[in-house]
A = this chain, B = another copy of it.
Amino acid sequence: MKTENRSKSDIGMTPRRLEALVDGIFAIAMTLLVLSIDVPKIPADKVAAELPRYIRGLWPELSQYVLAFITLAAFWMGHHYRYRYIRRVDAGLLWINILALMFVALIPFTTELVGDYGEMPIAARLFEINMLLAGMAFCWQWLYATRHHYLVDDDLSDRIIKAGLMKELFIPALSVAGLVISCFSPSWSSSVYFLAPFLHHHNHRKRRGIRSD
C-alpha cells in the first residue's frame, strides 16, 4: 500500500479497509431483511386452514423485502462507484460514512415496520425518510470528497464529479417522490424504489460516452 503524502488530515485508513466494513454491513443488512418476514405460530389443529391464508397475505412483506433489497443493492453499487475515484480517507469522510451506514443498518427495521403496517402513512413515511437520510449521507460523502478535489485525483474531470452527484441524488429524489405519494396512497408510495435498478443502468449508459478513467 503506497502511503499518501498529502499533509491533509491523514488517518492512515485506506479505502480498501473501509470497504471491508462497508461490504460487511451491506451484506448483513441485506440478509437481515429476511427477518422482517415473520413465520406465525399456528396451533396444530388450525394449520390446514390458517397457513394458506397467511401465505396469501405475505405479499406486502415480500414486496417490501424485494424493494428494500434492490435499494440497498443500488446504494452498494453507488458506494462502489464512489470509491473508484476516492483515493484517500480522512476522519471527516469516515464519520460521514459511519453516519450513512447507521441509516443503512436501520433499513431492516423500517422495512419490517412498513411490511407489517404498510397501509399506515406514518410507517411508509418512516421507511422513505430512512432511505432519504441514507441517500443524503452518501451524497454528502461525494460532495465532501470532491470539493476542491479534496480526496480524489487532481485531474478528475468536472463531468465525472457532476455525473456522480446526479447518481447520488437519485435515491433521495425517489424518496421525496415517495413521501409526496404517501399523502395520497401510503401502500403504493414505496413502490418508487422499484425504479432504482433501471435508472442506475440508464445513468450508466449515458455515462459511457464521457468516461475518462
Chain A residues proximal to chain B, CB less than 8 Å:
9-13, 17, 19-21, 23-35, 37, 39, 42, 47-48, 51-52, 55, 65-66, 69-70, 73, 76-77, 80-81, 84, 91-92, 94-95, 98, 101-102, 105-106, 108-109, 112-113, 116-117, 119-120, 122-123, 126, 197, 200-201, 204-205, 208, 211, 213
- Copy tally for this chain in the complex stands at 4
Instruction: Give which listed residue, B34, B66, B81, B98, contacts A69 with CB less than 8 A.
Output: B98
Which of B39, B69, B109, B208 touches A112 (beta carbons < 8 Å)?
B39
Asked if A12 meets B112 with Cβ closer than 8 Å, knowing A31-B32, A33-B105, A55-B126, the reply is no
B-chain residues with CB within 8 Å of residue A47 when the two chains form the complex: 117, 119-120
Majority SS at the chain A contact face = helix
Distance of A70 Cα from B102 Cα, bound (Å): 8
Q: Are A25 and B31 in contact, CB atoms less than 8 angstroms apart? A: yes
| CA A50 to CA B65, docked complex, whole Å | 24
Given A30-B105, A70-B102, A77-B94: A39 and B201 within 8 A (CB)?
A: no
Closest to A3 in B: B213
What are the residues of chain B within 8 A of A80 when measuring CB–CB? Answer: 12-13, 17
* Cross-chain contact A21 with B23 (CB below 8 angstroms): yes
A204 to B26, CA, bound (A): 28
Which residues on B sit within 8 Å (CB–CB) of A123? Answer: 51
Q: Which residue of B lies closest to A202 (CB)?
A: B91
- A37 touching B109, Cβ below 8 Å: yes
From the candidates B10, B26, B52, name the one contacting A122 in the complex (CB within 8 A): B52
Which residue from chain B places its CB closest to the CB of A115 in the assembled complex? B39
A25 and B30 contact, Cβ closer than 8 Å, known pairs A55-B126, A201-B91: yes
Contacting pair A105 B21 (CB below 8 A)? no
For A197, the closest partner residue in chain B by CB is B95
Instruction: With A21-B27, A39-B116, A76-B21 as known contacts, state yes or no: A105 contacts B51, CB within 8 Å.
Output: no
How far does the alpha carbon of A211 sit from the alpha carbon of B6 in the complex, in Å? 13
Given B21, B29, B65, which contacts A106 in the complex, CB threshold below 8 Å? B65
